[in-house]
Structure formats: C-alpha cells, structure tokens
Amino acid sequence: MSYEREHDDNCIITSLKKRLADPDCPETFSRREVADLLFIHESLGNRLNRIVKISDGYQYELKHLTSELQQALANVKTLKGFIPICASCKKVRADDGYWRQIEQYICENSDASLSHGLCPDCTSNYFHLASISDEAEEIPASFSIKVSADDLENPVISHYLNIISNKHFNDTPLRADLLRLLEKYILLQRRQLRIARISDKYQAEVKEIKEKFEKEARIDHLTGLSNRRDMFRVMHAEIARINRRGGILSLIMFDFDDFKSINDMHGHEAGDLTLQYCACLLRDVLRCDDTAARWGGEEFMLIQSGTSRDGVFRSAERLRQLIEQSPLYYKGTKIEPTISLGVALYRPGEPLNELLHRVDSSLYGAKKQGKNQVGPLNE
C-alpha cells in the first residue's frame, strides 16, 4: 500500500472517530462512509494475509536452521574434550589415540580426511637414529638387486643402504619407498658408469686413430723417415730450444749424385729402392736425438744437436763413406750410388730460412767441386 493510500485511510478513520465523538452525530452513516470502511477492512485483511505468509516463510527457515544447528551441536559433542595443542610449538598432541577421534570426526562430518605422511621432524628423527646407530643389519631381503663392492664405493649408496638396513628404520612408513628409490639409484649409478666406460673406449679408439693419422702425416711413406713438413717442425723446436738454453745445432743436407741416371738405367723402382736403402743405412748411424728426413726427391736432411764444427764435418764425411761403400743390388745389377753433402752450423738468432740457404749453398759447393764430397762450411 502506498504512503498516500495509507494516509487517506488514516484520514477516513480520523474523520469517523471525530464524528462518533460528536454528541450531535446522526445515528446512521452514509453509504459513502460504509463503502470507505469496507474498503479499508478488505485492504487490511489482505495485508494481514501477506504478512502471515511471509512470517511463515521466515519461521520455516528459522526452524530448519535451528534443526541443523542442533544436529551440528550434537556432532560437535562427539569430539569430547579439548583438542590438545602445545602452547609452545602449536602441534596437536598425539597421545591417547586422540588423532583417531579427530580423524573419525573429520571423516564423518566432512569430505576431508587425514593424510598419513611423515612429518619432517619424525623423518629426521628416523634418519638420525639410523645414521648414528652401528646396529646396521644385513641388506634387506626385499632388496631386489645384488649390491656389489663397487656399488658400496659410492658414498651415497653406502650411506643410505646403511640407514635402511638399520633396525631403527624397520617400522618407518618411508622404508619401502626408500628401498625402491635406492634400487633405482644404484641401477642409474651403474648405468652412468657403464656409459662413461663405453664412451671412454670410443674416445680412446678415436684418439688412437687420430695419433695414427698424425704420425702418418709426419712420415715419408717411401723411406719411413720424417717428411719435409715434420722436419720443419723439428727445426723450429730445436732452434727455439737452442735460443732459450744455448748449445750447438748443425744441419747436414745431402743429395744423390746423378740420381737421374739410376732411374734411367734401372727404372724408377730401382731409384725408390736406392732411397729406401739409404734410409736404412741412415737409421743405423743416427744418434737417438738426431732427426733425419726425406727433404724432397732424392734430397735428405739431417739435424744434429751438440755437434761441433769439426764434428759436423766428421759426421758428413762418415755418411758419404757409408753410402759410397754400401752398394746395393737390383735384379742382379750392382748399383753404387754416391752422395754430395752440405753442412751448416746454426748461428744464434738466425732465421731458419738463412740457415737453410747456407746449407743449400754448401751442398751446391760440393756438387760444383766434383760431387761425392762434403761442401764448405759457410760461416
């Protein structure tokens, strides 16, 4: 009902009350007044009905809530006593099976349940007891793999195996999981070591092949002596050593006299054989720290350290005599090769190409003076 309407109703009632209080008021009411009263009566009746209906709704709700509350109160009462919480660490006490009551209550009255894991304190307590105790027993029977001495060399494996084999660990809910975990760890550890071993073998194989190739790259395949490339490496290393520590370094370079005629008369095979034969002779007279190389074609180079001026001439002359006095036979034909030699002594600080130039000039001198001899020392 609107405010205006209510206001109107009150006005009618007030006016009627005023009329009734008046002693001169007529005994009868007009038709209009009765109609107004009837209207007000009907409106009030309707409002009363609505109020009753709303009120019933509220009461029903209230009644329902009251009933639920009573049920809840009854449930709460099943959890007797107080929940014992420590005033210091705030943990719920576990004595007297109290946790069972709590769990039962939670299960019955909610969708939640207790999860039975190990709390960090208990876990560390188990580990502590097992690790300080010497009462380790045999490896558990439920361990599905055989533990070897190699496995026990791993500190992680020996540590945890000791713990789970300990009697203090027997009742731990963690034990079964830890056993499986340790088994997996041991297998992985073995796998890792195996992969490393296999990998090492492949790498060793590769390393050997690499070394073989490197060695082959330094060798002259016809004579088995060092090749020119390797000789350069040796020369650089020797010069660096002499420059650092001092000492004497000498080069002997030799070349077969009239080698072309050997090839022309007996064929290239005989020429190759002559070079191989020379290499054999050379190897026999080399000192362990001398290096000989096939410098190219029928040219050879010999590097010696610690040989004096006279010494290098003596070495070169011995070599000349050795070749001259060692003829070889090819298909029944005697071949008597001779060589001309050049010599040079390294001057400290001298560039390598100058040293090579001097030894080459010495060899040229020997050839020019009639071959089969040692050339002059260009100092």
Partner 1 sequence: MDSIFFQETKSSPAIAFDSGTGLLEISGESYPENSYEFYKPLLLWISRFCTIFPGTIVFSCRITYLNTGSTKSMMDIFDLFEDRFQRGQEIKVNWFCDIDNDRAIETAEEFMEDVTFPFEIKPLVRADEL
Binding residues vs partner 1 (CB under 8 A): 191, 194-199, 201-202, 204-206
Pick 188 or 237: Cβ nearer partner 1: 188
In whole angstroms, the minimum distance from the beta carbon of 216 to partner 1 comes to 17
Which residue type, as a one-letter code, is found at position 373?
Q
Q: d(Cα 189, Cα 142) in Å, to the nearest integer?
A: 20
- Strands 328-330 and 339-345 turn out to be unpaired
Element (H, E) at 76: helix 31-78
In whole angstroms, the minimum distance from the beta carbon of 195 to partner 1 comes to 5
Q: d(Cα 144, Cα 156) in Å, to the nearest integer?
A: 18
Pick 50 or 191: Cβ nearer partner 1: 191
C-alpha pair distances (Å), 327 with each of 223, 257, 278, 294, 324: 17, 14, 10, 20, 7
Pick 90 or 197: Cβ nearer partner 1: 197
Pick 44 or 198: Cβ nearer partner 1: 198
Which residue type, as a one-letter code, is found at position 153?
E
In whole angstroms, the minimum distance from the beta carbon of 200 to partner 1 comes to 10
Element (H, E) at 379: none
In whole angstroms, the minimum distance from the beta carbon of 202 to partner 1 comes to 6
Residues 130, 160 contacting (CB under 8 angstroms): no
- Strands 291-296 and 299-305 turn out to be antiparallel
In whole angstroms, the minimum distance from the beta carbon of 212 to partner 1 comes to 13
Pick 156 or 195: Cβ nearer partner 1: 195
Which residue type, as a one-letter code, is found at position 216?
E
Element (H, E) at 303: strand 299-305
Pick 128 or 194: Cβ nearer partner 1: 194
In whole angstroms, the minimum distance from the beta carbon of 265 to partner 1 comes to 37
In whole angstroms, the minimum distance from the beta carbon of 198 to partner 1 comes to 5
Pick 204 or 217: Cβ nearer partner 1: 204
Q: d(Cα 304, Cα 139) in Å, to the nearest integer?
A: 68
End-to-end Cα spacing for the chain:
138
φ, ψ at 344 (rounded to 5°): -155, 140
